[in-house]
Structure 1
Amino acid sequence: MWRLTWHLALIIGAYYVVPLGEDQPGWLRALRTAAVLAGIALVARSVAREVRRDSAGERSGLTTFGLALVTVTGVVLFALADYSVASWREGEFAGLETRTDGLYFAVSTLATVGFGDVHAQGQLARGLVLAQMVFNLVVVASAAALLARRFREDQARRRAR
């Protein structure tokens, strides 16, 4: 459990230190955007591969720990995308001004609570949030179901010993 907590802290810490200055050149923004998109695609691919393996009765891929980390990484990458859009294009998000706001918005979108204090206003932000909702419904929900099943199986194995 401590290992998972430590790694989650590292992922969230990295989110807070990625440089996003407004004075950076456009090529750097494009590179960062490509990296975030590639990261999200890698998360989706990793979860899809695990679901396929699991449905085939295999369990040789990601560990439960790895699957949890991959899923959280996807949410943090969307938080970074949300904050980046809010920073680079004024008026796209209402109430999203800090990295904490970005993380808060990504998690509240994932949890489908949507308090309304932070919300997408512009078309780019709405498109991003739409992609985020689809990611949450398909990728995160699949990962959560798989994680729950693996935790139950691990518990059953421990009890059987």
Structure 2
Amino acid sequence: MVQAAGVAAMVTAYFLLPLDRLGPDRPALSWILFCLALALIALLLLRQVVHVLLDRPDVRPGLVIPLLMSLSVLVFATAYQALAQHPGELDGIATRLDALYFTLVTLATVGYGDITPHGQAARLVTVLQILYTFVFLTAAATALTHHLRAALLRQRGPHRHDTPTADADSGPE
């Protein structure tokens, strides 16, 4: 429930925050913010992955990982929206919804072809998104799955189905 509220708040902020100052008017600021945001999210995701691998009981990867994954999607969507303001970079992105759509289509490796990165900067961001997905989002999703599986096994407790029955313990007659 908390994750859904957090994701809803982030998506609402994505659509409402004034991001007009990013893009071709301030390319240095745009690239710095983009790189810093991705680096920070990557570090936080890797921290969660390590905590899951170390089986730290005091962390909440089920809460944090989905929020960080959602935030990374929104960072890429914001970058695409900013790039689309420069003619010739991204054909087909006119709105923030278009940018979010393209981000999710790229993330899912569907690639409908209705939005295409033509400029070098747009292609660079697309390549970065693919690599970021392979490394960070895949590791985070794997860690989250591992964490959830371990939590389910702990909930089952000693009533597991693979315990020997009395017939198996009686031995040969």
Report if TM-score (shorter chain) is over 0.5: yes
CA distance in 2, matches of 1:109, 1:59: 35
If each structure's helix is expressed as a fraction of its own residues, which one has the higher value?
1
Maintained 8 Å contact 2:90/2:122: yes
One-letter amino acid of the counterpart of residue 12, structure 2: G
Gap change, CA 1:18 and 1:30, over 3 Å in 2: farther
Question: In 2, Cα distance between the equivalents of 1:65 and 1:95?
Answer: 34
Q: Partners of 2:105 and 2:157 in 1: how far apart? A: 38
Cα separation, partners in 2 of 1:150 and 1:102, compared to 1, 3 Å: same
Counterpart of 1:112 in structure 2 is 109
Alignment partner, residue 41 of structure 1: 39
Structure 1 residue 33, shift from structure 2 partner: 4.1
Q: Shift of residue 26 of structure 1?
A: 4.2
State the match for 2:90 in structure 1. 93
Residue number in structure 2 paired with 1:70: 68
Listed one character per residue, the Cα deviations across residues 82-117 of structure 1 (whole Å, up to 9, x for unaligned) are: 111112x11101111110010011111111111111
Question: Could you tell me which amino acid in structure 2 is paired with residue 14 of structure 1?
Answer: A
Residue from 56, 59, 75 that aligns with 1:58: 56
Q: Distance in 1 between matches of 2:132 and 2:22?
A: 31
What aligned pairs does 1:100-139 form with structure 2 within 5 A after superposition?
100-139=97-136
Q: Which moved more, 1:55-64 or 1:147-156?
A: 55-64
After TM superposition, give the deviation of residue 68 of structure 1 in Å.
1.1
Which amino acid in structure 2 is aligned with residue 132 of structure 1? Q
**Counterpart residue type for residue 119 of structure 2:** G
Task: Check the 8 A contact 2:22/2:30 in 1, yes or no.
Answer: no
TM normalised by structure 2 equals 0.81
Secondary structure of residue in 1 paired with 2:110: coil
- The two structures have a TM-score, normalised by structure 1, of 0.86
Structure 1 residue 153: Cα displacement: 1.6
* Amino-acid identity (%): 30
Larger Cα-atom Rg:
2
Query: Structure 1 CA distance, aligned partners of 2:24 and 2:90?
Result: 22
One-letter amino acid of the counterpart of residue 15, structure 1: Y
SS of the residue corresponding to residue 141 of structure 1 reads helix
Specify the alignment match of 1:13 in structure 2. 12
Q: Per-residue displacement from partner, 1:38-80 (whole Å, max 9, x unpaired)?
A: 1111111111222233334435445311111011101111111
| Aligned length in residues | 158
* Residue 25 to residue 128, structure 1, CA distance change in 2 (3 Å): closer
